[in-house]
Amino acid sequence: MQSLTQSPLDAEFVQNPYPFYDRVRAAGPFAYWSDYKMAVSARASVVAAALRDRRLGRETPAERALPTPPHLEPFYALERHSMLELEAPRHTRLRRLVVRAFTSGRIAALAPDITALCHRLIDDMPAGGGDLLEHFAKPLPVIVIARLLGVPETDAPDLLAWSNAMVQMYQARRDDALEAEAAQAAQAFTDYLSALIETRRKAPGNDLLSDLIAVQEDGAHLSRDELIATVVLLLNAGHEATVHSIGNGVKTLLEQGVAPEWLDTDHIDGTLEEILRYDPPLHLFTRWAYEDIELQGETIRAGSQIGLLLAGANRDPDTWDSPGVFNSPRPVKTNFSFGAGAHFCIGAPLARLEMRIALPLLFERLPAMTLANRPVYGDVYHFHGLEALDLRY
């Protein structure tokens, strides 16, 4: 297995990681990314197989588990009950319970409210120009999630601040100061949701949190810790991905000069999938091997961790013609931006709905929209999103 070196903090890589993914793909089914001390793959066939292979998973093997540093206990107290970090049978049970409340019908019913909210946010944007992330892409998903859960909309800024602090734990730039912020945010989030859950137990409402409290399987409910971890996951994962998807998507559409018809009702779904394929919000997703596994001639040893380069797999020329070219009318093939298999993103339908409504409305309401300056990606790997998106309109 070829060893490759590439700092995820390197400024050139942050702005354009795709040349490195090409190097990884050219090296074989896997390459050893020395900076992360793990084997990684940018081949679509490998990533597709690994995401669905139950011999690989998110839950840390017992022999590789490390003691939790005391200062990070509030953060890992949530992680221990998060679907994202668990495997069967706990993951299966939790996901089944959540899906019973987080239904496709409930998500589809949000469309009118999301449309009205998009109009309101556009109405409130600064005259002449401003940062689309700050005034539109960031508030949209957090307000939608707050309403869905039954959280007062006035508390959305707190949810956003806690979410932003917590996701720093997954970033390559993580340091002691960011860890402290994440732990404080996790504790504040836990305290807030504990109080809200008790309120909803006494007086259920017509909201997702009340339904999550009530849902059961074989007489078993979500525990308090599972409820809190699930709500935090829905907010953090859903918010982060949607903000970056909207920002990256508008940037791409403006840079590429996509014709208006590719945002109409007949074509918008294909355009959204091409946006997600071309510049997705999450680039690296890790898995642990629970036994020795052979994938396309490479042996992955039990107890080792591998990295699946979702964004690299999305640009595999064995799957897509001219994958480095943005092409709205490209025939849709399944991309890896929301994962696959047992851990396929549970919030993907909501994220797609928000984008499907938001992007056409932005270009309809702000037809003169142009980039005010060259957008710069933030140092947030293994996420991939802009620091700001300054527009003139």
310, 137, 134, 277: CA torsion to nearest 10 = 30
How far is C-alpha 272 from the geometric centre of its chain's CA atoms?
15
Residue 106, phi then psi, degrees to nearest 5: -65, -40
Nearest to 314 by CA among 18, 15, 16: 18
**pLDDT tens digit string along 206-233?**
999 999 999 987 778 899 999 999 999 9
Q: Which residue range is the domain that position 19 belongs to?
A: 3-392
Nearest to 39 by CA among 228, 232, 303, 260: 303
Whole-model pTM: value is 0.95
Distance CA 37, CA 105 (A): 43
Count other C-beta atoms under 10 Å from residue 380's C-beta. Answer: 21
Model pLDDT, residue 237: 83
Model pLDDT, residue 219: 78
Distance CA 332, CA 166 (A): 34
Give the count of domains, the chain: 1
Nearest to 380 by CA among 85, 131, 167: 167
Q: Are 141 and 238 in contact (CB under 8 A)?
A: yes
**pLDDT tens digit string along 227-266?**
999 999 998 887 889 999 999 999 999 999 988 889 999 9
CATH number for the domain including 370? 1.10.630.10
Averaged pLDDT in 10-residue chunks for the chain of 393 residues:
97 98 98 98 98 97 93 96 95 93 92 98 97 97 94 92 95 96 98 96 94 85 94 88 96 92 92 97 97 95 97 98 95 94 94 96 96 97 97 97
- Across the chain, mean pLDDT equals 95
Q: Are 32 and 139 in contact (CB under 8 A)?
A: no
How far is C-alpha 371 from the geometric centre of its chain's CA atoms?
25
Per residue in 360-377, is it b (16+ CB within 10 Å) or e — as a string? Answer: bbbbeebeebeebeebeb
Nearest 5 degrees, angle CA 70-CA 72-CA 76? 110
Half-sphere exposure of 135 (CA within 13 A, CB side): 17
Q: Are 327 and 274 in contact (CB under 8 A)?
A: yes
Is 161 buried (19+), middle (13-18) or exposed (0-12) by CB count in 10 A?
middle
Nearest to 253 by CA among 378, 389, 115: 389
DSSP three-state, residue 331: coil
